[in-house]
Structure formats: structure tokens, C-alpha cells
Amino acid sequence: MVAADHERQHRAFLAAIQLRHPWQFRNRGVSEHDEPVQINVSPGWHALLQRLFEEVEARVPEAERGGFRWRRLQSTGGVLDIHFDGVRERVLSVVNRARDVAAVSCEQCARAGWRRQVAGRYQVDCDRHFIERLLTAHRGGDRAVKRWWNSPQPSLGEHSPAEVLQQGPAPELLIDQALRAAMPEAPRLNGAHRQRLEGVWPVMQAQFSERLRSLRLAEFEPGRRASGTLLGLMASDVGGSEHANAVNALARRGFSDLRLRLLSGEDLERPARASDPWSCMLALEASVSIPRYRPSLPD
């Protein structure tokens, strides 16, 4: 239902913009590599793209329009990805502004949002749509999700989550509950898994020394290639380049199958407001500790 609505809205949007700004979408057929313009964003980003096309209309004089053409406008992992041909300097600032606006606009409804992951998939969403997306990961399926929305809860003053969201913005508590409801099972490790994973400790300690507090494993699927999420609990925030260095070091030691997420104690205290709520809740609810040393006794 929602998907069909989105599909219809999207087709209407494509028709309207090509009618209003035909030269920006023209397939010139100059080369055999010319492909139709790809536009693939959800309705929440339609208005910001519309504004972008209008700004380009205003900035590119008729004489220069022959060389201009959009190639691709799409959401790639919650980032607005824009490719075009021609008159770069005329449009670069408005293209960058569209990207900045997209970074804080819900892809579904355009309300204020930010980029978060659910089960490895990144998207920009408002709290309401984040909760909806979380619940698609609910292991109980549609019926369990329906029950979740409609059951009054003591912690919500005997209101149901649906009622609470009707009244206003999502409280932290509600986001926490949706996160919990969406968590995968905690991994079960056999002896061989454990032995291999212990090898992660020296790699991570070489990167972070005393700042590394503990290591946990979640979303572990040994049958698939990406076999788990490695959660590093840190004494302080870690910068992007340090994170990248650690990912490289892990890959060099044969752990490229583990997705590394680094979390601070502050994040764990308020998962709903952390930059990566999903990973925080994995650490708290759906992960197992990776032992630091090989135990001499069974544990």
C-alpha cells in the first residue's frame, strides 16, 4: 500500500519535473552511452530536488543549456548522490546545498531527520519513520508489529505507541522500545568462533590501547559472507579516520567480514539519541562479549 503510493507519487513527480524543465532531462543521444536520467529518491526529497531544478533553471543561461544534463539523482545509503554533465561552476553551489538539505530531511516525509542505520541499511529519517523502519526488522512479522503499535503500555502512561505518536514527537522511551523490539538474536559462538574472534583483541588494542574498554559481537551470521558486527566499547569518542584505520588493520589481519562500530559510554546511556542507535542497542541487548584471553577453563 505504502509502496504503491510512493510509486504513484514518484511517477507524478518525474512527469512534472520533465514537463517543467525539459532541457535538464533531455536525452541527447549524442553517444551510444547516453542513458536515461536516473532519479531514485523517496517522496520526502522531492521538494528539495524540485527547488534544485528551479535554481538550475535560474542559473544556467539559455546559451549554455545545450551542454547540461542530469545523469543520476538518487539516495545511496542515505546520501543524496548527484551526477550531471556540463556547466559545473554555475550549479555546484546549489547542488551542494541540495545535498546538505537532504542530509537532515526525512526521505519519507521531509520533516527534520538524520542518517541512521537499521540492520546495516542507512537512510535519513525522522523519529517516526525511523521507528517504522525499525519495526520492519521485528522478528514477529506484521502481526507482532500491529500489536506493538496498538498495545497500551505502563511505561507510556497506559497509552499505546500509536497514541503517543499522534500526540507529538517520539519520546526517547518509545524509540528505545522500538529498538529493543527490532533486535536480532544474540549470537551463539562455538569454540572455533571464539578462538578466531580472540584474534581481534590485539588488533584493536594496537589501534586504541587503553581507550578500548570491551569488544562485543552481534548480527553474527557465519553462513553468509558478512559474518557479524564487531562493537568496540570505547572510553571516549573516536574520529572517522581512526575508525577507518582500525577497519583497515582488521582487514589486513583477515577480519574484513566484521563490520566495525565504535561506541562511547555516553552513546550507550542514551541509545535513542546516539548517532548510531541500532549499534548501541545491539551492544546492550543482542550481543555477546568477545573474551580477551583464551580461557583455560570452560566458561
Q: Which residues bind Zn ion (CB under 5 A)?
A: 106, 108-109, 111, 126, 129
Residue 118 or 234: the one with the smaller Cβ distance to Zn ion is: 118
What phi and psi, each to the nearest 5 degrees, are found at residue 88? -55, -50
Close Cβ partners of 168 (under 8 Å, ≥ 6 residues apart): none
Q: How far is the CB of 194 from Zn ion (least distance, A)?
A: 41
Q: How far is the CB of 112 from Zn ion (least distance, A)?
A: 9
Distances in whole angstroms, Cα of residue 143 to Cα of each of 65, 126, 134: 53, 24, 15
Residue 111 or 213: the one with the smaller Cβ distance to Zn ion is: 111
Residue 108 or 227: the one with the smaller Cβ distance to Zn ion is: 108
User: What one-character DSSP code corresponds to residue 288?
Assistant: E
Instruction: With H, G, I as helix, E, B as strand and everything else as coil, classify residue 74.
Output: strand
Residue 106 or 230: the one with the smaller Cβ distance to Zn ion is: 106
Q: How far is the CB of 121 from Zn ion (least distance, A)?
A: 16
Instruction: With H, G, I as helix, E, B as strand and everything else as coil, classify residue 230.
Output: strand
Helices (H), the chain: 2-20, 46-59, 88-103, 127-135, 141-150, 161-167, 172-182, 191-198, 200-208, 240-252, 265-269, 277-285
Residue 103 or 288: the one with the smaller Cβ distance to Zn ion is: 103
Residue at shortest CB range from Zn ion: 106
